Amino acid sequence: MNRIAQHRILVNGDSFEACSDQVRRFFALTSLVIYDCIEVRAEQSLAANALGFSEALDAAIADNRRTVAGLVAELRKAGIESIAELPDLEQGYPSKVLHIITHFLDGFIGIDSSFYNLIDDSHWLPTGTRTALGDHPAGFWLIHVDCYSATPQEAALLHT
């Protein structure tokens, strides 16, 4: 298996196990991204009241912002400087870049999502959730998952 993605998922629940189960259920039920294997990494997951949680959360969100900024730069390379130019966007790579950007903005998780807020179905952290984290951190977790896909050879073995 090849690791093809890592996500840090913000969840709220009674325990690490309950939060991990939420994350596993989410990936089992979503059709937005499909992996052959999801591994929750307990050693890289953090409770909201753990040392380093805020820094890890902010870094994960910053990763998403860098990804979006890079995608916007790709659109600029394609000649798009304003939304007024979008009707003339070339189909193909430029339109695919715009598609990925809209997923970040509308809350659809993708392989490029570093951080995902399962509480709000978002790539960001709304003020209300940030306030709740600060006021009542118990039960909030940042769950780290490694996501794998089978190689073509492995896929052939899985489907025979």
pLDDT in tens, the chain (160 residues): 899 999 999 999 999 999 999 999 999 999 989 999 999 999 999 999 999 999 999 999 999 999 999 999 999 999 999 999 999 898 999 999 999 999 999 999 999 999 999 999 999 999 999 999 999 999 999 999 999 998 766 554 444 4
In Å, what is the CA distance from 89 to each residue of 68, 69, 101, 103, 132?
18, 18, 14, 17, 41
Structural domain boundaries in the chain: 2-158
Rounded-to-integer distance, Cα 45 and Cα 52, Å: 11
The predicted structure's pLDDT at residue 160:
44
Tokens describing residue 149: 């896909």
Residue 150, judged by CB atoms within 10 A of its CB (0-12, 13-18, 19+), counts as middle
Q: How many CB atoms lie within 10 A of CB 84?
A: 8
Question: Residue 94 corresponds to which amino acid?
Answer: P
126 three-class SS: coil
Q: Which pLDDT value is given to residue 150?
A: 87
Contacting residues for 24 by C-beta, under 8 A, at least 6 apart: 38, 40
The angle at the Cα of 20, spanning 16 to 26, to the nearest 5 degrees, equals 150
